[in-house]
Every structure is written in structure tokens, then in C-alpha cells.
């Protein structure tokens, strides 16, 4: 008879866009192993809860962040990834606007903070590997879904949208073709409000038209930025 002693955990990769950089939410662990190390929020699934309930609870307990939507990312179960037990982690990722959340550490976390994805500390367990997987998913998602809905301010300059794409994709884009293609989708509204962009002339602000986007979706619209 095969016997198993495998524990199930959940971990959350929460991305936010602030100061024109891509950030991820990390907690400083308050328990061994990896005490005082930075890690993704997460923990073991309780007997009476679903995976989704577990990751929402861990996020709330350790960071005080509550998100409306978490997307399942991947399962990580390499033996030895946790020195205490054989642990399989079901990971999730989310996109939030950091300014909408008041972060606060509690339970197994002694601290919580946003980190620039390019300036990360050493992470506990295999969380660097998990984070790389999540970043790849985010980059792919950017090409088929307008995730600026979830990351930019409600009103933004078109240059902010360009910067968002270049930051996440980690490469330059053809700005003229990008603007032409994005505007052709008819999901942006150009507003009469203007703000100054450095030394240039004031530029118009834009906002996403979510109602129009969801209408297009129902009609088989394909958002493609490849």
C-alpha cells in the first residue's frame, strides 16, 4: 500500500504598478525556516477550506490585501522545496493598484512591502522560481488582454500605457504602431482633460471603456498585441 504524507499549500504572486515600475508584494517571514527572509504570501490549506479560500485568507492575514480576482498560476511540488515536509504549492497571481490597498503584516509575517521586480531581495523556498513563472504568465497575458484596466490609474496619459507595456515586456515597442493598434480596438476614450508631459505640450488623458471591451468580447473580439 502506498502511503503519502504530503501537505498542500497556496502562495500568491500579487503584482502592482507604481512609480512606473512593476512591483510584487512580499512578506518577511516571522517563523522558521527562512525566518527574516522575504517570501511570497501564503501557507498551508486548512482541512475545511477550498484552495481559493485558503489563498484569500493567507493574503488577508499576512498582508491585509483583499483582491476581487485571483488566477491560478501553476503547481510546484519538487521534493525538498520545503525543508520541513513534502509540500505541494498551488500558486495564484493577481493584479492590483497598490494605492488602493493599505498593507499591514500579521500572523506569520513580521513585515510586508512592495518591491520593484528588478530589485528583489533573496527569496525563501523556491519563490524566485515561482515569481519568474508568474512574470512569464503576465507577459503573455499582456498580449491578449488589456490588463491596464487593473494596473493603471482610472485616467492616464497614452505614454503611461506605452511605459506599462515596455516595463512588463522588458523591451522597447514601436510607439507609432502600438498607438494605432490600441486605438483601433475602440476600448479607449480620449478625454478633454489635459496634463503636461515634461517640456512638451499638454497631452490628453485617456480612460478604458470596460463596457465597450466586454461588449466586444461577447461579439468574439480578439485583443492581440503580438
- Tens of pLDDT, residues 172-181: 989 999 999 9
Q: Is the pLDDT reported for residue 67 higher than 80?
A: yes
Identify the bridge partners of residue 74 per DSSP, sorted by sequence position.
91
**Whole-number Å distance between alpha carbons of 131 and 139:** 12
Higher pLDDT, 1 or 152: 152
Task: Copy the grid coordinates of residue 109.
Answer: 509575517
Please state at what angle helix 127-142 crosses helix 158-169, rounded to 10 degrees. Answer: 140
Average pLDDT on 96-122 reads 95
Q: Are strands 6-18 and 86-96 parallel, antiparallel or unpaired?
A: parallel
Higher pLDDT, 131 or 2: 131
Pick from 4-8, 32-36, 194-198: least confident: 194-198
Cβ contacts of 203-211, under 8 Å, gap ≥ 24: 203/157, 203/158, 203/159, 204/157, 204/158, 205/155, 205/156, 205/157, 206/155, 206/156, 206/157, 206/158, 206/161, 207/154, 207/155, 207/156, 208/146, 208/148, 208/149, 210/149
Higher pLDDT, 68 or 220: 68
**Whole-number Å distance between alpha carbons of 153 and 137:** 22
Give residue 215's pLDDT band: very low, low, confident or very high (50, 70, 90): confident
Collapsing DSSP to helix, strand or coil, 79 comes out as: coil
CA atoms within 13 A on the CB side of 195: 11
Q: What's the full length of the chain, in residues? A: 226
**Whole-number Å distance between alpha carbons of 72 and 52:** 9
Domains of the chain: residue spans and CATH: 6-130 (3.90.79.10), 148-218 (1.10.10.10)
What does R_g of the chain's alpha carbons equal in angstroms? Answer: 20
Prior bond to 33 cis, omega within 30?
yes
Amino acid at each position: 500500500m502506498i502511503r503519502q504524507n504530503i501537505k498542500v499549500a497556496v502562495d500568491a504572486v500579487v503584482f502592482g504598478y507604481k512609480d512606473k515600475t512593476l512591483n510584487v508584494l512580499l512578506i518577511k517571514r516571522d517563523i522558521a525556516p527562512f525566518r527574516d527572509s522575504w517570501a511570497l504570501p501564503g501557507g498551508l490549506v486548512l482541512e475545511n477550506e477550498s484552495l481559493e479560500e485558503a489563498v484569500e485568507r493567507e493574503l488577508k492575514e499576512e498582508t491585509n490585501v483583499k483582491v476581487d480576482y485571483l488566477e491560478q498560476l501553476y503547481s510546484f511540488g519538487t521534493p525538498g522545496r520545503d525543508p520541513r515536509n513534502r509540500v505541494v504549492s498551488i500558486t495564484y497571481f493577481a493584479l492590483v493598484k497598490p494605492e488602493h490597498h493599505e498593507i499591514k503584516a500579521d500572523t506569520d509575517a513580521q513585515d510586508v512591502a512592495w518591491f520593484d521586480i528588478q530589485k528583489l531581495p533573496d527569496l525563501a523556498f523556491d519563490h524566485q522560481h515561482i515569481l519568474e513563472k508568474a512574470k512569464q504568465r503576465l507577459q503573455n497575458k499582456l498580449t491578449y488582454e488589456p490588463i491596464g484596466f487593473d494596473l493603471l490609474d482610472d485616467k492616464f496619459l497614452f505614454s503611461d500605457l506605452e511605459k506599462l507595456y515596455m516595463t512588463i515586456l522588458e523591451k522597447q515597442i514601436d510607439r507609432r504602431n502600438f498607438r494605432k493598434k490600441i486605438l483601433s480596438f475602440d476600448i479607449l476614450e480620449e478625454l478633454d482633460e489635459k496634463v503636461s508631459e515634461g517640456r512638451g505640450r499638454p497631452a490628453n488623458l485617456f480612460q478604458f471603456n470596460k463596457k465597450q471591451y466586454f461588449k466586444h468580447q461577447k461579439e468574439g473580439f480578439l485583443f492581440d498585441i503580438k
